[in-house]
Amino acid sequence: MGVKRIYLAGPEVFLDDAVEMGRRKKDLCRAYGFVGLYPFDNEVVPASPSDRLDRLIFSANASMIAEADLAIVNLTPFRGPSADVGSVFELGMAFGQGKPVFGYSNVVEVYLDRVSASGPVTEDRKGVHRDGFGMSIENFGNADNLMIDGCLAAQGRFLVRNAVPVAARFRDLDGFETCLRAASEFYAAGTVSERFRA
């Protein structure tokens, strides 16, 4: 089987202690028998002045996702009612490539409540909530857009939500560890069925 490699997606790459956050996540991966792949693992150095740093980071991350066996994605709301779009892109990419995906959020409120808190919301005669642009707001009790919760549900999982104080919102790793445990159980179950294969 070999040791499984986990792509570690999340907005913590924007923290001033992003490298230390990666170290903490990778240490936890190791404790659960995994290897963590973190965006900052790659030292991205432009080879020529015309090389764009952002394009090199994109390629490095996309290659890491392709190489990973699974992904754990930090889906904590970021700069608005939804998760970081960079992390969501990576979730979609990993899911599209058929890899097991796991997700957590350090905010527990449902999506509708967060949108309602961020601006004027009306309710039409059919009970549909609408934002300032008249656009409907999903009301399924999900943490975020139905594609996000849905891709986890399609794999028999759910988005892990923990109530974390605002000050620790992007550094708390309890939800991450819950995902690690779930991943560990997922592969342990897989091992059992592989054991009985011809």
Residues lying near a second copy in the complex (CB under 8 A) are found at: 11, 14-16, 52-55, 57-59, 61-62, 65, 79-86, 88-97, 115, 118-119, 130-131, 133-138, 140, 142, 144-151, 153-154, 169-170
Shortest CB 97 distance to a second copy, Å: 5
**Rounded distance, CA 76 to CA 84, Å?**
7
- Taking the complex as a whole, the smallest distance from the CB of residue 146 to a second copy amounts, in Å, to 4
Instruction: Specify the residue, 131 or 177, whose C-beta has the smaller distance to a second copy.
Output: 131
| C-beta of 63 vs 191, nearer to a second copy | 63
Burial class (CB in 10 A: 0-12, 13-18, 19+), 101: buried
Residue with Cβ nearer a second copy (133 or 196): 133
CB of 109 to a second copy, least distance (A): 15
What is the DSSP-derived secondary structure letter of residue 73?
Answer: E
Dist CA 29 CA 184 (whole Å): 10
Neighbours of 193 (CB within 10 A): 8
- The residue written with tokens 């390629």 in the block is 59
Q: Taking the complex as a whole, how short is the minimal distance between the CB of residue 171 and a second copy, in angstroms? A: 10
Q: Is residue 144 within 8 Å of residue 159, measured between CB atoms?
A: yes
